[in-house]
Amino acid sequence: MVGLHAVGQCARSPGGTIPLAAVGFLWLLSCAAPTVDPDAASDLVPSPPTVADLLEQWSELEASDPAAFVTRMQAEIAAGEHFAPAALFLADHLAQHERLGDALDAIELARVRAPDRLDLAFARVQLLLDLGMIDGADEELLALYGRIEHPRILWEAARVALAAQRPDDARGHLARLRQQYRDHVWVQENADAIAQLEERASHPRAHLRPREILALQRTSTDPVLRLRALKTLAAIEAPELAVALRLGMEDSEPLVRVAALQLGAPVVQDLLDWIDWGLRDEAPQVRGAAASEATALPSRQGVALLMSFLDTEQSGYVVRRMNQALNELAGDSHVVPAGLGDTEDGREEIRAYWRQHWGQ
């Protein structure tokens, strides 16, 4: 996921390629010395930290203690000097954990202190797009355009128009950008980004970005579209895939959950937990798919997992899939006649076979 915490002033590149600006403040010493060598005095005052320094410190805290990190960022946003980069960094952290509403709250709190700061405004626009709130993103940019002159606003408006499937509007915004801001330094520094957006506006269906595809999966009411978005992110191995898989496993449509389970099995860090999640699903087709994926586990681990669920499984379809998986894991060939698992007596017969096989 593209980081929201690439922060700076309004002339920043959309891709975050401009170096971070230094923050101009000094840390003062709290103790006084009776005599100081004037030539050495400068050594007593630490160099002012840059935004890059702060981001490094915050990253370390985020990795070591996420709860303390959130508390630290919230305090900085509320009363600290570096409230804007803190808000952007926290919003990125929360968005990566699918806490988009909380991320939006962090940006809103910072904007109370700096309502016209463009990096915060653009972060809010992106979060609104992630949430499928296209009208809100439009309104945000319209309000900015009425009181601030900057080409990035038109560039963002074109992005929102494409997300709303209004390519004609996007082309209009970009044409206005070219006409009004031809000699603006931001336009010159971001010529590639503008050209790429113009290409997308000319062929809107062919150039969806991974984050936009993820937004479709998150907000669409059509399960087929959600499934297609998930499969697309998997096919291109997008950084957003981890979030897409979690969304897929929480989808209301079992077909999407099955796809997420199967697409995630080769790439998740903890396959055991992933399959365990699937075996607890309410839909038999998802549990059956999870049973099949258990064959990718080490034999003892896969057998232990399946046996722990076999005792309570009530679906004949899932019991038969578990039987097939146990055969593969054990190198066995226990055949279950069609329909045997459809009654409790039949399911118990299958359980009894595997208990005896494993000496349970």
Full set of structural domains in the chain with CATH:
49-206 (1.25.40.10), 210-357 (1.25.10.10)
**Is the per-residue pLDDT at 219 higher than 80?**
yes
**Is the per-residue pLDDT at 53 higher than 90?**
no
Helices (H), the chain: 51-64, 66-79, 83-96, 100-113, 118-130, 134-145, 151-163, 167-180, 185-189, 191-202, 210-219, 223-235, 241-249, 254-264, 271-279, 284-293, 299-310, 316-330, 344-357
Count CB atoms within 10 A of the CB of residue 53.
Answer: 14
Return the DSSP state at 8.
-
Count CB atoms within 10 A of the CB of residue 60.
Answer: 11
Could you give phi then psi for residue 92, rounded to 5 degrees? -65, -45
Which tokens sit at 247?
A: 């969304």
Of residues 6 and 318, more confidence is placed in 318
Of residues 138 and 349, more confidence is placed in 138
The per-residue pLDDT for 205 is 65
Q: How far apart are CA 235 and CA 297, in angstroms?
A: 23
Which tokens sit at 291?
A: 């049973």
**Is the per-residue pLDDT at 102 higher than 50?**
yes
pLDDT one-digit tens code per residue, 156-194: 999 999 888 889 999 999 999 999 999 999 999 999 999
Of residues 36 and 241, more confidence is placed in 241
pLDDT cut 90: percent of the chain above it? 55
Tell me the C-alpha to C-alpha distance, in Å, between residue 188 and each of 29, 149, 159, 266, 295.
Answer: 43, 16, 19, 43, 55
pLDDT one-digit tens code per residue, 246-260: 999 999 999 999 999
Could you give phi then psi for residue 280, rounded to 5 degrees? -95, 0
Closest CA relative to residue 1, chosen from 107, 122, 126, 124: 126
pLDDT one-digit tens code per residue, 274-317: 999 999 999 999 999 999 999 999 999 999 999 999 888 988 88
Count CB atoms within 10 A of the CB of residue 334.
Answer: 13
3-state SS class at 50: strand
Q: What size, in residues, is the chain?
A: 360
Question: Cβ distance 104 to 95 under 8 Å?
Answer: no
pLDDT band at 45 (very low <50, low <70, confident <90, very high): low
Which tokens sit at 230?
A: 């998930």
The per-residue pLDDT for 37 is 44
pLDDT band at 21 (very low <50, low <70, confident <90, very high): very low
Residue 89 parent element (H or E)? helix 83-96
The per-residue pLDDT for 10 is 39
**Is the per-residue pLDDT at 1 higher than 60?**
no
Which tokens sit at 303?
A: 């057998």
Q: Is 93 left (phi over 0), alpha (psi -120 to 50) or beta?
A: alpha
- Sign of the Cα torsion 169, 175, 176, 177 reads positive
The per-residue pLDDT for 345 is 79
Count CB atoms within 10 A of the CB of residue 298.
Answer: 11
Q: For the packed helices 151-163 and 191-202, what is the interaxial angle rounded to 10 degrees?
A: 30
Of residues 42 and 228, more confidence is placed in 228
**Is the per-residue pLDDT at 266 higher than 50?**
yes
Q: How far apart are CA 229 and CA 209, in angstroms?
A: 11
The per-residue pLDDT for 360 is 57
Q: What angle do CA 26, 28, 31 make, to 5 degrees?
A: 165
The gap from C-alpha 47 to its chain's centroid, in whole angstroms, comes to 35
Indicate the Cα dihedral angle 160, 165, 170, 171, nearest 10°. 160
3-state SS class at 184: coil
Which tokens sit at 145?
A: 């355009």
Tell me the C-alpha to C-alpha distance, in Å, between residue 100 and each of 40, 105, 127, 129, 213.
Answer: 50, 9, 7, 10, 16
Work out the mean pLDDT of the chain and round it to a whole number: 83
